[in-house]
Structure 1
Amino acid sequence: MAARLERFEFSQIRMGVDTPIVVYAPSEARAVEACRAAYTRISQLEQQMSDYRADSELNMLCKEAVGRWRRVSRELFYVLWRAHRLAQQTDGAFDPTVGVLVRLWREARRTGRLPDAQTLQAARARAGYPLMELCPRRRAVRLKAAGMQLDLGGIAKGYACDNALRVLRRYGITRALIQMGGDIVAGEPPPDAPAWRIALAEGGETTLARGALSTSGSTEQFVEIDGIRYAHIVDPRTGLGLTKLVLARARARDGITADSLATAAAVMGAAGIPRLQRLYKGVQIEVWEG
C-alpha cells in the first residue's frame, strides 16, 4: 500500500524574491531534507547568475571576458545560450546584454529622474546581443565592448525553478510546486486533485500541472517621470523602460522557456504572440495591453 502523503510548505528568499515550495511527502523529515537541498541548489545558481552579487560568476565574466574568451560553468553557458538564441529570434526584444540599461533604470526609479541623453547613448553602446559571442565547443563567452553588464533577470528564475524540481524528484518527491516571483513550475498535482490551483495577480485563478507558468508586465513596478509612466522592464531596442501597460503570461513545458517568453512577450506586445508560438511549439502566450 502506498504511503500516505502529507502537504508541507516552506519559504525562503532566493534571487531577491520570496520563494515558496509546496510538496507532498510521506514525512516531514523527507520534506525538510528535500526542500533544503532544493534551496541549496537555487543558491548555487544565484551565485552563478546574479547581477547583484559582485563576486558572482556572471559579474566576473563581465570583467574578464572583454576581448577574450572565458570558459564558464555548464549552467551559466546554457542559460546564456538560451538567452542569446531568443535575442536573435526576437530581433533583440529579449536581450541578456541590457544590464547597463537596467541599472540606469533602477537609478531612475530611485531618484525619479531620467538619464540624460549622453548617458543613455553611452549605455546603449555597451548593450546589444551581437556584442556577446558564444563558443559551444569550448563552453566559452567573449564580450566585444568594455563596460558591458549581462542581466539574466528574465530567464534565470525559471531555470532555477526547473532545477529545484529536479532536486526534489531525486529525493522521491514528484508532487511539488515552486514559485519565484512571477515564475511557477509544477510537478505532479496534489494526490486529491487533477492540477495545482494558482491564484492570479489580476484576480481569479488558473490551474497548472507538469509544466510552468510565468507572468511579466508593467502593471506593478514602475516610476512616473514628467507625467510618463516607465516600467521596470527595459525595451532593449530603445534603452527605455516600457511606457505601455502590458501583462504577458506564458505556459510552457519548463520554467526557462516560460520565463523568457513571458519577458519577450511583454516587450513585443500582442503582435509578437504568433511569432513566439511559431518558434516554440506547444507554448501558450497571452498578452493584455492597456
Structure 2
Amino acid sequence: MKKLVLFLIVLMICILSGCVSKDESYISKTDLVMGTIVDLHVYGYDDKNILNKAFDRLKDIEKMMSINIGSSEISSINKHSGQKPIIVSKDTFYVVYKSLYYAKLSNGKFDPTIGPLVQLWNIGNENAKIPSQCDISKVLSLINYNDVVLDKEKNSIFLKEKNMSLDLGGIAKGYAADEIRKIFEENGITSAVINIGGNIVTIGNNPDGRPWNIGVQDPNEDTGSYMGILQVKDASVVTSGIYERYIKSNEKIYHHIFDTTTGYPVDNEILSVTIINENSIDGDALSTVIFLSGVYDGLSLIESIENTECIIVTKDNEVYLSSGIKDSFKITDDKYVIKQNNIINSSY
C-alpha cells in the first residue's frame, strides 16, 4: 500500500510538471529506508550508480539515527541517559544540534526529547493505544530539551535524566533529503526530484526548463489527492498534517503531532502545514513548529525567517499563505478559500 501511495505522489508530480521527453536521459529508484518509502527521480543523467550511492547514504543515516535500531547512536544515547555521554558521528551531532535550535526557537513546542511520549502512544504502529493520564504524566517529566548536553569538542551527547530519550523523527528525514541533494549536485545533476516519505527536494527546473509543479496534499482526502499547485525551483517542500498517522477512538482522531505540555495530540485549528524553503532539515522541523504554534503565531514566525514560506490549511478549509508565496501557489479545489494574511514582516 505504501508503494502505491508514493507512486501516486510521484505520478502527480510527473503529470503536473510534464514528463521527461523520450530522448532525455532519466533514471529512478524506489525503496524502503528510514521507515518510509524513498523515491528518487533524476533527469539528464544516466549512471544508475548514483542512485545506489544515494541509498547507501540513507542507510548510513538510518543506522546512526533510528530509534528502532538497537545499535544506532541515538539508541545508545537513550540507553545511557542519566549515566554518561556518548560520542557520536558528525551527522548525529549536527541533527541533534539543529533539533535543539528549533526547540529553543519554539520555546519547547518542538522538542527532540519527546521520545518517551512517542513510544507511549506508539501511533503509526499496530499496538498504538490511548494511554492513561497517569502514564502520560510520568513521561511528561522526562521531556526537557534543556537537559540535553552537547560537547562540541568531544562530539558527545548526554541526557541528564535517566529514562529520557531522543526521537529525531521530526527532523532526520529532512537532513537525509539534504544529503541526497548534496550527492546529486556534487555529481553534476541539475534536474531531479527527491522524495523521502513526503519530504520533497527539487533540484533545478524540470526537464522542460520550467519550475516544478508540486501538488500540495489535500488534508481532507486520501494521500495522492491535491488541493493546490505550488511552483518551485531548487527548493524543499515539507508538509505535516494530522492525516498522516493517527488512531481513532469513539469517532475522535488522535494524530502523531504532540503537545508536550499536555501529552496529547495538539488540538487547534490547523489541518496541515507546508513549508517551502532551501533546506529540508529546517523545513522538516518548521512544519511541526508552525503546526504547534497555530495560525497567527506560526505566520508571525515564518514572516521573521528569510527565504522561508508556508501554506497553512485549517479545519474550516481556509488557506493562509505567507507573504512571499502568493504568486507561486494556486488553489485547484474551490472548497478551499485563501484568507488575507495581515502579518507582514512581523517579529516572533
TM-score if structure 1 supplies the norm length?
0.91
Secondary structure of the corresponding residue to residue 98 of structure 1: helix
1:289 to partner: Cα distance: 2.2
How much has 1:227 moved relative to structure 2?
4.3
**Aligned-pair CA distance for 1:286:** 2.2
Report the CA distance between 1:67 and its aligned residue: 3.9
Q: List 4+ stretches of structure 1 deviating above 4 A.
A: 107-113
- Which residue identity lines up with residue 14 of structure 1 in the other structure? V
Return the alpha-carbon distance in structure 1 between the equivalents of residues 208 and 33 of structure 2: 30
Q: Report the counterpart of residue 287 of structure 2 in structure 1.
A: 262
State which of 96, 118, 128 in structure 1 corresponds to 2:134: 118
Tell me the equivalent position of 2:174.
158
- Aligned equivalents of 1:5 and 1:113: distance in 2? 49
C-alpha displacement of 1:112: 6.7
What is the DSSP-based 3-state SS (H/G/I as helix, E as strand, rest coil) of the residue aligned with 1:134?
Answer: strand
Q: How far apart, CA to CA, are the structure 2 residues paired with 1:222 and 1:43? A: 26
| Structure 2 letter corresponding to 1:88 | K
Aligned partner of 1:235 in structure 2 is 259
Instruction: Write the mapping of 1:89-128 to structure 2, written as runs, cut at 5 A.
Output: 89-106=105-122, 110=126, 113-128=129-144
CA drift of 1:200 comes to 2.3
Who is 1:209 aligned against? 233
Measure how far apart 1:53 and its partner are.
1.3
Q: Is the 8 A contact 2:192 2:202 kept in 1?
A: yes
1:60 equivalent to 2:79? Answer no
Partner SS, residue 113 of structure 2: coil
Partner of 1:137: 153
Partner of 1:250: 275
Residues 267/194 of structure 1: CA separation in 2 closer, same or farther (3 Å cut): same
Q: Secondary structure at the match of 1:200?
A: strand
Whether the aligned pair in 2 keeps the contact of 1:229 and 1:243 (CA below 8 Å) is no
Gaps of 5+ in 2: 1-22, 219-225, 316-348
Aligned twin of 1:186 = 202
Equivalences, count: 284
* 1:177 paired residue number: 193
Structure 1: any 5+ residue segments left out of the alignment?
A: none
Structure 2: which amino acid aligns with 1:225?
S
> Is the contact made by 2:274 and 2:312 (CA closer than 8 Å) also made in structure 1?
yes
State the Cα distance separating 1:39 from its structure 2 match: 0.8
- Structure 2 partner of 1:281: 306
TM-score by length of 2: 0.76
Please state if 1:13 is matched with 2:32. Answer: yes
Residue by residue over 1:93-112, the C-alpha shift from the partner in whole angstroms, topping out at 9 and shown as x without a partner, is 11111011011111697457
Determine helix, strand or coil for the equivalent of 2:112.
coil
| Partner Cα separation in structure 2 for residue 118 and residue 99 of structure 1 | 17
- Report the equivalent of 1:218: 242
Q: Which amino acid aligns with 1:238?
A: T
